[in-house]
Copies of this chain bind each other. A is one copy, B any other.
Amino acid sequence: MGEASLTKTFEFSSSHRYYRPEWSEEENRRVFGKCAYPNGHGHNYLLEVTVTGAVDPVTGMVVNLVDVKEAVEGVLAEFDHRHLNLDTPYFRDRIPTSENFAITLWGLIQKALPQGSRLSRLALHEDEDLYVEYRGGA
């Protein structure tokens, strides 16, 4: 019957800053623009999490949504209402762009999902007009 994909969207709020200390102020402003301002700014992130698999003939589900919520909300608790650079260990020497943030979330969510659930796609929306999609590494 083929596979189906279930996508659940989560909302949370974080602040961040784009800055490379080994660069001059001018270079930081040229590359990162207003994202280099010292005290950071923030977003309401929307995260789409997609799990793909066969549909269980008994429950009619690819995965129980309750398990997806428990797994993903557990991961997001570390980021919600936090400053990505200052409050989490993931962006000490990586810029917390949406690209890098999506890759970090991929690793954490993959581990948190129930055994047998295949994470196939993350889409991280920074605002209404911009999102990054990640489908895992090679």
Contacts and interface: CB of A to CB of B under 8 A. Distances in A.
B5 A132 contact: yes
Interface in A83-104: 83, 86-87, 94-100, 102-103
Given A11-B128, A99-B60, A136 B2 contact: yes
Contact of A7 (B7, B66, B130): B130
A41 B6 CA distance: 20
A18 B66 CA distance: 14
Given A13-B43, A39-B82, A41-B80, 15 more contacts: A1-B137, A2-B136, A4-B99, A7-B133, A8-B129, A9-B128, A10-B129, A11-B127, A15-B40, A34-B80, A37-B82, A39-B87, A44-B44, A62-B99, A62-B132
